[in-house]
Amino acid sequence: MLLFALSLLADAMTPKQLHVLQTVRDVAKSIPDKHGNTYENTVSAICLTESSAGKNTIGDFKRKKSFTKASLGPMQIQVATARHVSQNVKKLRWINNLSDVQLAGRLLGDIKLSAKIATHYVILLQEKRLDHFYAISGYNGGFHNRPYYNRVMKNMEVVNRLISSGKLS
């Protein structure tokens, strides 16, 4: 039953969602950690979990909350998280020259930037926490988040099905 459900989910992906996932994968493949490992499957599964591969690009937004505090883009990154990553990644320091509104706009509309920040964030979490479970949990703002981790792992199976079917490379 689960395999059937995963197959339906993989088959129901729109061309736009597949484009977002492929872009995220391509970016993640180009950013290795200090050991040469890349996290394209993990980052792709997070993208599915966070935004249904770009289908839902604004999260955590409440009327009284500033737009710049929302989770934005296909990877659902907050401005504060982007700034944190930029402090730790020299190639992204230019982000600090943007206002919060400018950065929020870029996070919302730039798939590649969203994927770069997300990939570097996953690497930073992996290096800090030394455990895949805790790194994935940390992406969603927690230390020990089993429900979120389980959703990402289910979406990892969807990513693997998309790869095996040739819809993603």
pLDDT one-digit tens code per residue, 67-116: 788 899 999 999 999 999 999 999 999 999 999 999 999 999 999 999 99
Query: What are the start-end ranges of the H helices in 110-168?
Result: 111-129, 132-139, 146-164
pTM: 0.90
pLDDT one-digit tens code per residue, 10-54: 668 999 999 999 999 999 999 999 999 999 999 999 999 999 999
pLDDT one-digit tens code per residue, 128-153: 988 889 999 999 877 888 999 999 99
Packing angle, helices 111-129 and 40-51, rounded to 10? 110
How far from 41 is each of 47, 68, 102, 107, 153, CA to CA, in Å? 10, 28, 29, 21, 10
64 with 26: CB under 8 angstroms?
no
- Which pLDDT score, from 0 to 100, does residue 68 have? 82
- Which pLDDT score, from 0 to 100, does residue 10 have? 61
Choosing among 1.10.530.10, 3.30.565.10, 2.70.98.50, 2.60.40.10, the CATH entry for 2-164 is: 1.10.530.10
The domain spans of the chain are: 2-164
Check whether 2 has a pLDDT greater than 80. Answer: no
Indicate the residue type of 76: Q
For 64, the token pair is: 């009284």
- Which pLDDT score, from 0 to 100, does residue 67 have? 75
